[in-house]
Amino acid sequence: MASLSDKIVEMGLDNVCIMDGFDECAVGVLERFGMEPIVIYDKAKVIDKIMEISPGCDWISANEHYEFNQLGGWHGETTPGFIIKLPSRGTD
């Protein structure tokens, strides 16, 4: 299976910033007018991954880590973005 980095290069987007170890959390690439494309990660999957790779880490600690290190990090115009999925609509 190709890595996220390989897939990004195949798309011709070799200048985007990716988070090492979080390939399975990536959900796509965001295009914005007049701006560089960025990789988009699923916030919930990122927090789950932090708990998976950090023994004894609960959701609160993982969320704090995410907010400070990933969401709060700035690595230039191609800093990754994070999506929060909308709740599913139930049958009313």
pTM, whole model, 2 decimals? Answer: 0.87
pLDDT digits (tens, 9 = 90+) for 18-46: 999 999 999 999 999 999 999 999 999 99
- Band (pLDDT 50/70/90 cuts) for residue 91 is low
pLDDT digits (tens, 9 = 90+) for 44-84: 999 999 999 999 999 999 999 999 999 999 999 999 999 99
- Band (pLDDT 50/70/90 cuts) for residue 87 is confident
DSSP letter for each residue of 4-30: HHHHHHHTT-TT----TT-GGGEEEEE
Q: Is the CB of residue 28 less than 8 Å from the CB of residue 69?
A: no
Which pair of tokens denotes residue 51? 């708990």
Instruction: Please name the helix (run of DSSP H) or strand (run of DSSP E) that holds residue 55, with its range, or none.
Output: none
* Domain range summary for the chain, segments of one domain joined by +: 4-83
Mean pLDDT over the full length of the chain: 92
